Structure 1
């Protein structure tokens, strides 16, 4: 069922267009959808890998237990051999009647015979139990090996579907990036991409601007790319990554062009503003109310940017020049980065 579901996702057309044949807002929505599907495929694949490793470990453990059981059986066979050799040395090779005629102490002979018989029976019983245990272990090992092989086959299919989805996502990201660069060059912002928002409302008042990221250029860092110092915190993410409003507020600016490329600015309670820059697409319009975690756009590399990332700022005015360090500001609101 899982493979069939992912196959349907992978088979979706990549050239999504609206009724006018323009791949504008539809392309951004497609990238967001593929981004989510690629994440789900990766999660399913990783879960399958962990499950396969667990089955493989179980099979190896059964194999070790089998080796120990076989060593135990070999030792019992050796014990049985010693009993047989002891019987031979004490006259066990003669018929019992002959031994009784030749023996000086008949009672001692009978006691010895009974002891040898009991030892012989005990070893034989132990060997029988061990052989049955060996058979059970062998069956368990075979089951674990079969389960591991089945999981490996399923994971091979998952890996192939994951690769297909990621290939489609990469192609769509490239087209989205080209479309965003063209919009910025023309000074004409693309319309809002009304993305399917993540299910359920966040129970938190504040969240990180992107869900998965690597921190790159930090607030106040120097470099040739900035006139003075870096005015925000950069999050290294692929093109098309959903960008979230860190808290509840109102969109006061949506613009494109200049150093920030396509950007969104949100006003929050308490006189604070957050900026989301270098976007490839926006998902809100000026004047919209947003909630914590709501997608306001998709990351890109527009404007003065050397690669895909989100430039995030916290300000006390809508315009640049009043920035605060975003890391302690978010940390004070329960969002450590």
Structure 2
């Protein structure tokens, strides 16, 4: 999975860009196993075998956030390096312009001096005036020569000062680039470590989910630490960051008739949200939908969330808009990680309506 996707998982939690402190914390994170949040036996990622369902679910969520934070800092460092490079390039361009101006002045001075030599030789200026056919033209030439000499001297002085400033700035820029590149290299290594741990954790989470789905018996709710965000709108998308895949009514070999929902392509372990407030009417495992949840909403509609890797609610529980109710997976009749989302007029399969216009009518356009 790409880092941009991981970075978006917790974009609603804003962290200050405390780069040095964060880097130290992330390096420590990479060097030791993650401790689980919430329920479970607290086994770390380094010893995933034997970790409880709650522990591994919480670890996946935490690793998504750690990955997002590492990516945020990496991008901040990369952008800072680009700004420094752009400044240095502008300074170099200005200095190159100064050098071109001085070269033109040198050419002008040489041309005038050669003309003076041809017309007056090495005679003193007074003798040249006496012998000149056109003293006024000679005086103008002498004036131009003097002015050019003065301009050249001034330009050379400016150029030397600019060269000195540029050399000092260039040394500072190189030192800054080196520090930025070193920091970004360290952050990239931390990101790589987090990604490896995340892949391992997601693999175990899906393994536990597959075992539950095969047995037709759910493991029970895992209590994830809910985000602090409070939604002001009554409806939201079922996942925060996604790519739309199979749509409502589309055909395919995996369905007996037509696709009955909208699929959201997301990685295993992505937090799944209740699209609106309601009550959990069923939590089930096994069958074509694998691990699934159905929620009843006011107004007579039901929403289904299928192919999950874990559930975070129990049957009969009331949920709020945006509350994490589970984690995406690929259980049941699924060819890859995604969330299957349905809107129904009854709790049972066979009463689905197209969820895309249904959500759009409630202020949640998908795209």
TM-score above 0.5: yes
Say yes or no: does 1:8 pair with 2:31: no
How far the C-alpha of 1:107 sits from its partner, in A, is 7.4
Say yes or no: does 1:18 pair with 2:41: yes
Alignment of 1:236-255 (within 5 A): 236-255=265-284
Q: 1:100 to 1:60 in 2, by over 3 A?
A: closer
How far the C-alpha of 1:191 sits from its partner, in A, is 2.2
State which of 165, 174, 183 in structure 2 corresponds to 1:136: 165
Q: 1:12 to 1:292 in 2, by over 3 A?
A: farther
Say yes or no: does 1:320 pair with 2:343: no
Give the match's secondary structure for 2:236: coil
Kept in 2: contact 1:278–1:299 (CA 8 A): yes
Q: Gaps spanning 5+ residues in structure 1: where? A: none
Cα distance between partner residues in 1 of 2:363 and 2:187:
37
Say yes or no: does 1:272 pair with 2:272: no
Say yes or no: does 1:286 pair with 2:315: yes
Cα distance between partner residues in 2 of 1:108 and 1:262:
100
Say yes or no: does 1:33 pair with 2:62: yes
Kept in 2: contact 1:15–1:23 (CA 8 A): no
Alignment of 1:1-337 (within 5 A): 1=20, 2-14=22-34, 16=36, 18=41, 22-91=51-120, 93-99=122-128, 102=131, 112-337=141-366
Give the match's secondary structure for 1:226: coil
Q: 1:231 to 1:100 in 2, by over 3 A?
A: closer
Q: 1:108 to 1:61 in 2, by over 3 A?
A: closer
50-59 or 323-332, which deviates more: 50-59
Q: Gaps spanning 5+ residues in structure 2: where? A: 1-19, 44-49
Deviations 1:22-55 (A, max 9, x none): 5221111111111221122223223333332333
Count the aligned residue pairs: 337
How far the C-alpha of 1:295 sits from its partner, in A, is 0.8
Kept in 2: contact 1:73–1:131 (CA 8 A): no
Structure 1 length-normalised TM: 0.90
Q: 1:272 to 1:123 in 2, by over 3 A?
A: same
Kept in 1: contact 2:42–2:55 (CA 8 A): no
Cα distance between partner residues in 1 of 2:71 and 2:138:
76
Give the match's secondary structure for 1:4: helix
Cα distance between partner residues in 1 of 2:136 and 2:94:
44
Give the match's secondary structure for 1:47: helix
242-251 or 162-171, which deviates more: 242-251
Kept in 2: contact 1:274–1:312 (CA 8 A): yes
How far the C-alpha of 1:100 sits from its partner, in A, is 5.3
